[in-house]
């Protein structure tokens, strides 16, 4: 666990190999076999869309070199990397009565103790340690005392997961060493920058943010969730800009605690990933050498793929021109 710099174990684990480089594109050197780290954002029930995204990645054999997760993104990443089959995890997500997992208590630092939900998560993650997960997973939390990010990279999964799901005011914060930890979404709702530290050649983020609508909240949970979403909206804009590609499943209309919409969220994640497959493939092998043998020119097929992808995602580079809602590097 650390604030910023990957530990020695992970530096070794993610040491770059001299495998040769394809070319330079938009100021970035992309290896022939790039190390792709996925940043899975938080969003409560909306975060179940990550299951649909991962299903497509598996089916299409898209590389997953590492996962960095916040809140529900961390839950999905850990359960998947612990060996959970995506079909099984999807069935659990849709069949589970999540509301029965809220163990309320007299409020002091939070409304929910979190023991019931952790009992389920222990089963899904098989009580594994972070260093036992494959692909590797980092979990992001926030230190309530200093306001800094805390990244779990090794050791027990339990405190890491319990911390990252601790929405302030809803879950009781987690005491861990000198830290008092809450939801990682407070500082890194979409942890693209942290994913870059994992030794990534390419960072692809999955953003499951809530659409800020004028609809009034229906209960205290929705008040707290909506407040957190408003505060985090601008921060997420900055964070997703640190990714090379952003996939945005169409789940913004689903409330944070609306777990009855689990199946819809999973389907939306799958659809978004499939829409972005041409862009992902071009991102993995998107350029060819320029006339001088050392520069690069834009692959027209890559641009066409982005044009066809629509609002499901964006490709980040500078300078940019807009192709619908998708940003395309123009060299």
- Active-site positions read 71, 183
Give a three-class secondary structure readout of the chain: CECCCCCHHHHHHCCCCCCCEEEEECCEEEECCCCEEEEECCCHHHHHHHHHHHHHHHHCCCCCCEEEEECHHHHHHHHHHCCCCHHHHHHHHHHCCHHHHCCECCCCCEEECCHHHHHHHHHHHCCCEHHHCCCCEEEEEEECCCCCEEEECCCEHHHHHHHHCCCCEEECCEEECCEEEEECHHHHCCCHHHHHCCCCCEEEEECCCCCCCCCCCCCHHHHHHHHHHHHHHHHHHHHHCCCCEEECCCCCCCCCCCHHHHHHHHHHHHHHHHHHHHHHHHHHCCCEECCCCCCEECCHHHHHHHHHHHHHEEECCCCEEEECCEEEECC
Q: How far apart are CA 327 and CA 321, in angstroms?
A: 6
- Burial of residue 95 (number of CB atoms within 10 Å: 0-12, 13-18, 19+): exposed
């Amino acid at each position: 666990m650390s604030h910023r710099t990957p530990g020695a174990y992970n530096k070794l684990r993610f040491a770059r190999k001299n495998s040769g480089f394809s070319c330079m594109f938009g100021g970035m050197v992309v290896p022939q076999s790039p190390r792709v780290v996925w940043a899975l954002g938080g969003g409560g029930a909306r975060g179940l869309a990550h299951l649909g995204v991962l299903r497509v990645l598996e089916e299409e054999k898209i590389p997953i070199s590492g996962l960095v997760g916040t809140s529900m993104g961390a839950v999905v990443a850990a359960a998947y990397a612990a060996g959970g089959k995506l079909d099984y995890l999807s069935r659990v997500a849709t069949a589970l009565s999540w509301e029965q997992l809220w163990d309320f208590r007299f409020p002091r630092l939070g409304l929910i103790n979190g023991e019931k939900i952790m009992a389920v998560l222990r089963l899904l993650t098989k009580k594994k340690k972070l260093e036992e997960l494959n692909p590797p997973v980092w979990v992001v939390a926030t230190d309530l005392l200093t306001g800094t990010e805390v990244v779990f990279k090794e050791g027990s999964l339990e405190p890491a997961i319990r911390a990252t799901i601790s929405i302030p005011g809803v879950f009781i914060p987690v005491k861990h060493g000198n830290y008092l930890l809450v939801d990682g979404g407070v500082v890194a709702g979409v942890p693209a920058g942290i994913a870059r530290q994992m030794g990534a050649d390419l960072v692809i983020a999955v953003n499951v943010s809530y659409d800020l609508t004028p609809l009034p909240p229906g209960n205290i949970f929705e008040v707290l969730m909506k407040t957190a979403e408003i505060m985090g909206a601008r921060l997420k804009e900055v964070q997703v800009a640190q990714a090379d590609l952003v996939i945005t499943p169409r789940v913004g209309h689903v409330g944070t605690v609306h777990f009855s919409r689990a199946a819809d969220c999973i389907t939306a994640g799958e659809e978004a990933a499939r829409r972005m497959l041409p862009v992902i493939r071009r991102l993995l092998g998107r350029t060819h050498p320029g006339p001088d043998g050392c520069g690069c020119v834009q692959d027209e097929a890559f641009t066409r793929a982005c044009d066809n992808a629509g609002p499901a995602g964006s490709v980040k580079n500078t300078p940019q021109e807009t192709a619908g809602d998708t940003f395309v590097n123009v060299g």
